[in-house]
Homo-oligomer: A and B are copies of this chain.
Amino acid sequence: MSTIKDVAKKANVSIATVSRVINCLGGVKPSTESRIREAIEELNYSPNVIARSMVVKRTQTIGVIVPDIANPFFPEVIKGIEEYAREYGFTTFLANSDESVDEESRILSALRERRVDGLIVTTASELDSPLVEFEFDSSPIVLLDRYIHKSPYDSVVIDNTRGAYTAVKHLVTEGHTKIGLIGGPSNVTPGRDRTKGYIQAHTDFEIPIRQEYILEGDFKEESGYRLGEKLLAMSQPPTAIFSANNLMTLGLLKYIQRRHLQLGKDITVIGFDDLDLATFIEPPLTVVSRPMRYMGEIAASLLIERINGAEFKEPRKIVLLPQLVIRKSTNNK
C-alpha cells in the first residue's frame, strides 16, 4: 500500500505539501495541487488515518457496547448511533457483552487499547459494572438506556417509571385490579424503575399490591414464558399482565398462545417496547414504545460534543418520554 512518501516522490514535492492537499489546508499552488491529486489517483493512495491519529491524538472512533444485539431494541439504536457518528467523521466499534460483566470488562480494555475517543455503553449491570471502577482516562462515556447511579457520565434514558406507570394506569382505567408483573432484573435501572412505576400506579389508584403478582425475569424470552405460566397458574390469576420488555412479552405471548387463551379476554397484556408481533396478533397489542433510533442519535451527539471538548458542571441526563401506543388488546371495555 502506498504512502504519503510515494505520492510526494511521484509528484515531485515534499510530503509536507502532500499533507497540505490531503487535509485541504490551502496555500498550495493549483498546478502543484493537481499534480499531487493525479499522483494520489494513480497510486490509489489512501491516507493512513491510524498514523495520523498518532500525531493528532484522536482516533475518530467510538466504541459501542450493547448487552444483547439480538434484542431488536439495539439494532435500531445502533443505527441511530452509527448514522450520526459517521456524519461527524467517526467510525464505530461495536461489541456485544452478552449481559456479562466480565465480557464488558474485556471489551472495555480492548477498546481502551485501541484508544477510542469515546464510548457509548449499555452496561450489563449497574451495581458491579466495570464502568464504576474503570479508569478511561479522559475519554468521555455516555450511558445508554441503563443508568448508573451517581456516575459522572452523561446518559440518555427513558423515564421507565413513568412508562410503566402509564401502562398500569391504562389497565386500571380499563377496569383491571388484578395485574401481574413480569419485571426486569433488579440490577439495572430499566428493571427496577419499571417495577417502581407498576407499584406507584397501584398506590395512586388504591389498588392493593399482591406480592405474588410481582415476578422478576431477566429480559429474555424464556423468562417471559415461564413467569407467564406461573402467573396464570395461580388460584387467583391476574386478569392483566404488564411485561417489562419486548423479549419477555414475546415469551409471554407464546405461552398464552400455547394455552389457547384469548388475548384481551382471558388475559390482557401490555408490553414495554414494541415488537413485530404486537401489530400482528389479534387483537393488536398495546405497548409502551420509545424512540430507539433517536436515543442512538442523542447518545452519539452527547458523546461527540464531549469529545470535542464540551464541559458541563454536572453530567447531563437526557430523559426521554416513552409513549403508550394503545391498540385493541386493551380496548374492549
Contacts and interface: CB of A to CB of B under 8 A. Distances in A.
Contacts of A91: 93, 95, 110-111, 114
A250 interface: yes
B54 A51 contact: yes
Q: Which 6 A-B pairs have the closest CB atoms?
A: A94-B94, A49-B113, A69-B75, A1-B137, A70-B75, A46-B112
Contacts of A281: 280
Give the contact-size bracket for chain A. Answer: 35 or more
Nearest to A257: B280
Contacts of A95: 82, 86, 91-92
A50 B93 contact: no
B257 A276 contact: no
A266 interface: no
- Residue among A78, A112, A137, A276 facing the most chain B CB atoms (10 A cut-off): A276
B137 A47 contact: no
Nearest to A69: B75
A102 interface: no
A237 interface: no
A19 interface: no
A78 B72 contact: no
A70 B47 CA distance: 32
A32 interface: no
Nearest to A74: B75
A14 interface: no
Given A46-B109, A61-B114, A91-B95, 19 more contacts: A1-B115, A1-B137, A49-B114, A49-B115, A50-B53, A50-B54, A69-B78, A69-B79, A70-B79, A72-B72, A79-B96, A82-B94, A86-B95, A91-B114, A93-B94, A254-B279, A254-B280, A277-B277, A277-B280
A174 interface: no
A173 interface: no
Interface in A49-100: 49-51, 53-54, 59, 61, 69-70, 72, 74-76, 78-79, 82, 86, 91-96
